[in-house]
Structure 1
């Protein structure tokens, strides 16, 4: 869940959550629970203060963004391994989310809104 007043409005937070869940499902289908466990662990463990309510390991915004992108691209690759070029749809939805979430991305990258 996002921190109150964060740059992640509820609709975009829900969209990001849906993408993360989709990536977890595809990772599970492609490589099993170990892959899902790594993704969940990375996303749960490494957070940027001010972005999440609970911060276990505080990391700079660019590191958090790198973790998120790595999990999503792993999901895209897993989808490609399973379904071939249908994975392009997953990638397109992810890119559209990144465009829509530009304020949060700018904040993560620079610390400024």
Structure 2
């Protein structure tokens, strides 16, 4: 009787997310602009800190296999949380500082980004 150990489940290929990454980048840009704009009315240092956090965290923390260069490896759920942070920041800040029509467009962009991100998020959760 041989005691064969089951082989590890092969890693699924990373889904093609070129369209999702374009929407994700648009939301990131909106978050980088709208968030400090919204916070500047309360505190300029807080506005600056928001940009440092929104740009710095995804630059430093990433899931292996999701980016070519990983500075600090984190599980997939952390990468997902960073994307959600950007979406929420963009939408909330847009409703705070911009006209309702523009904020509505940002909200729709955020929802579309979530829908397009779902295959990547499933893949990230398997990491």
CA displacement at 1:62 relative to structure 2: 0.7
Question: TM-score under structure 2 normalisation?
Answer: 0.73
Q: What TM-score comes out, normalization by structure 1 length?
A: 0.81
In the alignment, the residues of structure 1 paired with residue 82 and residue 17 of structure 2 have an alpha-carbon distance, to the nearest angstrom, of: 20
Match of 1:107 in 2: 123
Structure 1: segments with no counterpart, 5+ residues: none
Q: Say which one has the larger Rg.
A: 2
Deviation per residue, 1:31-60 (Å, 9 max, x gap): 233211111011111100000111111111
Secondary structure of the residue aligned to 2:98 is: helix
Counterpart of 1:53 in 2: which secondary structure? coil
Whichever structure has more helix as a proportion of its residues is 1
Q: Give the aligned CA root-mean-square deviation in angstroms.
A: 1.9
Unaligned runs of 5+ in 2: 1-12, 40-46
How many residue pairs end up in the alignment? Answer: 107
